[in-house]
Amino acid sequence: MKILNQNIFGGAVLAVVFLCLPLAEAQAAQHRISGPGVDNGEEIREQLARMGYYDEDVTGYFNFITSNAVTRFQEDYGLPPTGIVGPLTQMKLENVEMMAKIVHGEARGESFIGKVGVAAVVLNRIESPDFPDSTEEVIFQRNAFTAVIDDQYLLTPNRSAYDAVKEAMEGVDPTMGAVFYYNPAGVTDDWIFSRTVLTQIGRHFFAE
């Protein structure tokens, strides 16, 4: 569907977007939406580029090349393929970014399956009644992840980290349900050794 130029038709573009988006995506779109003619920040384009969703050079504004990249992301993560970054897509992008940062910070020296394991632990904690129930709360729970404590979380994730997050979100869990992992060489609290080890992947022991 061709979307009208917002600069010419004013509010018409938002009206078209509201009609095309599922209700949940359309709510609050006037303040949060990114799409042709409307821009929510270059960080979205940069993240999509790091994830490999651009076939062409990243532009300095949201155009149909970016819309196609957004659509591909939405299709891969089970979202309505609108090509527009509304609230649901924005939330998914943010969650994927947080998880990719923790995977990159904690396991960038590990194998790909080891990175999937770290992502799976985050998801397993979200599902566990013993941990917070959101990505942000799990990752930033006090003393939960070394990468947050020593600022390795602030490093820019690479493609492998994003791919590992995607695989974990698709249900791959090489840890067999672990909610803890540790490298014995870096343990500072012997308490972790009381947890039952389920498997070892690279230098990480994954435990329940």
pLDDT in tens, the chain (208 residues): 333 333 333 333 333 343 344 544 444 333 344 555 545 568 899 999 999 999 888 877 778 889 999 999 999 999 999 999 999 999 999 999 999 999 999 999 999 999 999 999 999 999 999 999 999 999 999 999 999 999 999 999 999 999 999 999 999 999 999 999 999 987 877 898 999 999 999 999 999 9
Same domain, yes or no, for 110 and 81?
Answer: no
Specify whether 40 is located in the same domain as 119.
no
Whether 152 and 61 map to the same domain: the answer is no
Q: What is the 3-state secondary structure (H, E, C) of the chain?
A: CCCCCHHHHCCHHHHHHHHHCCHHHHCCHHHHCEECCECCCHHHHHHHHHCCCCCCCCCCCCCHHHHHHHHHHHHHCCCCCCCCECHHHHHHHHHHHHHHHHHHHHHCCCCHHHHHHHHHHHHHHHHCCCCCCCHHHHHCCCCCCHHHHCCHHHCCCCHHHHHHHHHHHCCCCCCCCCCEEECHHHCCCHHHHHCCEEEEECCEEEEC
Domain membership of residue 94 (yes or no) is no
- Statement to judge: residues 119 and 79 lie in one domain: no
Domain boundary among 56, 85, 114: 85
| Residue 91 domain flag | no
Q: What is the pLDDT of residue 20?
A: 47
Which one of 18, 53, 85 terminates a domain? Answer: 85
Domain count, the chain: 2
Q: Which domain holds residue 20?
A: 6-85
The answer on 148 and 81 residing in a single domain is no
CATH number of the domain residue 131 falls in = 1.10.10.2520
